[in-house]
Amino acid sequence: MTDLLTTVGGLTITDRFFATRSMTESLASPLTAEDQTVQSMPDVSPTKWHRAHTTWFFETFLLVPSLAGYRPFHPEYGYLFNSYYEGVGARYPRHDRGQLSRPGIAEIADYRVHVDEGMARLLEDPGCGSCTDLVELGIQHEQQHQELLLMDIKHVLSRNPLLPAYDAVRLPRPGAAGETTWTEHPEGTYQVGHSGPGFCFDNELPCHREYLAPFALADQPVTCGEWLDFMADGGYHRPELWLSDGWATVQAEGWEHPLYWVRSQRDGTFSEFTLGGPTPVNPAQPVCHVSYYEADAFARWSGLRLPTEVEWEVAAAGCPLVGHFLDHTKLHPTPVDGGPTGCTPFGNIWQWTSSAYSPYPGFTPAPGTVGEYNGKFMVNQYVLRGGSCVTPPDHVRASYRNFFPPSARWAFTGLRMARNG
């Protein structure tokens, strides 16, 4: 992690704190007060809740215990904006967050200013050296919620019959998908997990070694064109392709295509809802908003497989971050060219792996209440790698372990194929 004098990308931690806080407000700025209050399903949180919760994190874990004379902004905000930290008390039910008409967005803006002013005083205090790791964790936490904010508002707007756009987005015209090429990786024992300087979450540790048989990884994610072929071959109607839980979900939910795709009643073509509004499905772009169940079924249909998370990390180690990360002109997966020989590009979508989300050998949660951040979710989830078009660029690294339940579709999730060497 860092100390107060350490810079990341030329910025001090104080600079990065305020840049991150400003980015959250920038992402919320296209949205009305009504937009920011809606909760379209239990997994979605209102925009104003994200703005308040990230503020609550700094107030609860830094200002209250560390800044002399600090007074919390409101005595009930600790209850309203706690997410899942049992160690700091009760919290408002997640599935009911959309019922909170108050506080409104102006009051939450005042809350953010109040906490930012407190953090400015704390960061100027020479005694804050010992709290810098928590400041960095708070920055990384807020970056996660920047991505969640965009995931969630996309779902909210998609439920509106008017199909309103979040903002102006410029996407390439539909084209033909490029041919998939492969990079081979030899048998060997490889180092996995975070090592060296810089921030990481506790679930990326400890760095350890893993044996891999020879394998190859596709040099681009699965495209919408390939997914259309899967659908045309009856992919959503062939139980032999699906895990039992996946097939039950397909039947119960009536899945026929990825989330946000709509078939035209006139000519049978597909459009999809994006943060820029509806647009024709582009066969050349990475397919997005598919669950682990769908990714696994596609792999079985194609005669290939999903990579393990260790294979993905080995393939990505040392590679450039190729992709459009939180590019305000895109905010949607776009076609990605292959990287240099021997490198696999990260891409513009989170990529499902076949690895269950579980602790690395020797894993120890972070001490204190913040140890609830990752470890207690290591069950009934699968690991994703790579970052997406709505992930902040300095939040992406080869060792990063994202995770979601296998039925989740509203995240910017896709897949990349692997095969045995």
How much is the mean pLDDT over the chain?
A: 93
Considering the chain, what percentage of its residues have pLDDT values greater than 90? 82
Cis preceding-peptide flag for 340 (omega within 30 of 0):
no
Element (H, E) at 14: helix 13-28
Helices and strands (H, E) in the chain, number of each type: 10, 14
Domain ranges, ordered by start, for the chain? 7-158, 182-420
pLDDT bin (cut points 50, 70, 90) of residue 318 is: confident
Q: Which fold has domain 182-420?
A: paralog of FGE (formylglycine-generating enzyme) (3.90.1580)
Cα–Cα dist 391/275, whole Å: 14
pLDDT 10s digits, 165-198: 999 988 888 888 778 889 999 999 999 999 988 9
Question: Which whole number is the average pLDDT over 42-53?
Answer: 98
Nearest to 384 by CA among 367, 368, 397, 401: 401
- More confident: 166 or 5: 166
Residue-wise pLDDT for 78-101, tens only, equals 999 999 999 999 999 999 999 999
How far apart are the C-alpha atoms of 244 and 25, rounded to whole Å?
A: 43
pTM of this prediction? 0.95
The per-residue pLDDT for 340 is 53
User: Mind giving me the DSSP string for 241-290?
Assistant: GS-HHHHHHHHHHT--SSTTEEE-TTT--EEEEETTEEEE--TTSBP-S-
197 or 164, which is more confident: 164
* pLDDT level of residue 337 (50, 70, 90 thresholds): low
Q: For position 51, what pLDDT does the model report?
A: 98
Cβ(219)–Cβ(180) under 8 Å? yes
